[in-house]
């Protein structure tokens, strides 16, 4: 079982690096878009009208992809004061609950993101001409990743492997 979880972790580690690279590429592209917007307006006196909306869409991807990786790496800000005084057994239960809350919320992101995409399918985003449902794709995909990485945390804890939390060093493997 431990062997299986370790293998899964190695696969997910590679996968989360890929996700992080995608988000990083998104951040670089956003930077380029803003540069083009300023250049177009100030130098060419012809403002590109697609840059604002595209940057916002890209930011959605950066946030939800980065936040999902943050679940795996334990980057998210959390409140540990009570956990310091509780016995280890209870702390473990708290960690389990916390992971289940993330899974529940991730499920909501998928289900309700899907519903939002569905109701906005026939609308179009001004100046881009693509379907309004596009705004919700990053929400749905982020939900899938959050569930995936939370399940990994649950499995690791179940077999006695460490899981990363805010304020601690990253787990290497």
Interface residues for another protein in 23-42 (CB under 8 A)? 23-24, 27-28, 30-31, 34-35, 37-38, 41-42
Query: Which three-class secondary structure state does DSSP give residue 132?
Result: helix
Q: Does 7 bind another protein (CB under 8 A)?
A: no
| Residue list 43-102, contact with another protein (CB under 8 A) | 45-47, 49, 52-53, 55-57, 59-60, 62-67, 69-71, 73, 75-83, 94-95, 97-98, 101-102
User: Least CB distance from residue 4 to another protein, whole Å?
Assistant: 27
Place of tokens 């679940």: 71
Q: What string of H, E and C letters represents the secondary structure of 91-130? A: HHHHHHHHHHHHHHHHHHHHHHHHHHHHHCCCCECCCCCC
Binding marks (x or -) toward another protein, 97..136, rule CB under 8 A? xx--xx-xx--xx--xx-xx--xx-xxxxxx-x--x--xx
Q: Does 163 bind another protein (CB under 8 A)?
A: no
Q: Residue 7 or residue 49: which is nearer to another protein going by CB?
A: 49
Q: Is the dihedral of CA 116, 78, 169, 158 positive or negative?
A: negative
For residue 124, what are the β-bridge partners? Answer: 131
Q: Does 13 bind another protein (CB under 8 A)?
A: no
Q: Does 141 bind another protein (CB under 8 A)?
A: no
Q: Residue 7 or residue 31: which is nearer to another protein going by CB?
A: 31
Q: Residue 5 or residue 139: which is nearer to another protein going by CB?
A: 139
Q: Is the dihedral of CA 142, 145, 151, 156 positive or negative?
A: negative
Count of CB atoms within 10 A of residue 19's CB? 22
φ/ψ of residue 124, rounded to 5: -125, 150
Q: Residue 1 or residue 77: which is nearer to another protein going by CB?
A: 77
């Amino acid at each position: 079982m431990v062997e299986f979880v370790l293998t899964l972790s190695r696969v997910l580690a590679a996968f989360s690096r890929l996700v992080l690279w995608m988000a990083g590429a998104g951040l670089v592209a956003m930077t380029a878009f803003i540069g083009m917007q300023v250049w177009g307006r100030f130098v060419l006196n012809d403002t590109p009208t697609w840059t604002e909306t595209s940057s916002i869409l890209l930011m959605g991807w950066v946030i939800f992809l980065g936040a999902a990786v943050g679940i795996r790496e334990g980057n998210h800000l959390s409140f540990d004061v009570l956990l310091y005084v509780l016995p280890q057994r209870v702390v473990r239960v708290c960690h389990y609950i916390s992971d289940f809350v993330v899974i529940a919320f991730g499920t909501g992101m998928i289900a309700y993101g899907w519903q939002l995409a569905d109701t906005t399918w026939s609308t179009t985003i001004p100046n881009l001409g693509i379907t309004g449902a596009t705004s919700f794709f990053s929400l749905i995909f982020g939900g899938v990743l959050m569930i995936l990485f939370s399940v990994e945390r649950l499995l690791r804890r179940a077999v006695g492997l460490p899981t990363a939390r805010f304020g601690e060093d990253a787990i290497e493997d």
